[in-house]
Amino acid sequence: EYTKFSIIYYWINSLGQKTVIYSKLENVRIPPGEENKTAALSYDHRIILLENTSPTGTYYCEVKWERSVPITKMGKGVFVLARGTGYIDTSYGWEILITLTVLLAALSIATTALLLWKRK
């Protein structure tokens, strides 16, 4: 009863909207002598973008077994942040550090000059 299941890949965007990107019904054959053993199967899926959509969001995989009492298992999800080719990082870390260093150096020079002038 666990050999027939559905695999569903979907993503949830920043607005909380769910979009199914792939689904497939599987019927796995069990070889003789392998009954009542745990099996792990890998499924790879390549994301193909829909036109005019952003790929940024949380992606999930869900498996459903249709039985007398349906069972659904869902992954924890993977967040993907996509950036366009023209993206420019807005971090100003180096600029702030250089500005602060120049400001402190100028104040240090001015203070030293003032102390030397007062001393004379």
Tens digits of per-residue pLDDT, 42-85? 777 676 665 656 677 888 989 998 877 889 998 898 888 776 66
Best-predicted range by mean pLDDT (35-39, 57-61, 110-114): 110-114
In percent, the amount of the chain with pLDDT more than 70 equals 84
Can you read off the two tokens belonging to residue 15? 């607005």
pLDDT score, position 52: 58
Torsion of CA 17, 18, 19, 22, to 10 degrees: 170
Beta strands in 1-120 (DSSP E): 4-12, 18-27, 57-65, 71-74, 78-80
Q: Is the pLDDT of residue 102 over 80?
A: yes
What one-character-per-residue DSSP string does 34-66 give?
A: -TT------------PPTT----EEEEEEEEE-
**pLDDT band, very low/low/confident/very high, at 111 (cuts 50, 70, 90):** very high
pTM here is 0.54
**pLDDT band, very low/low/confident/very high, at 87 (cuts 50, 70, 90):** low
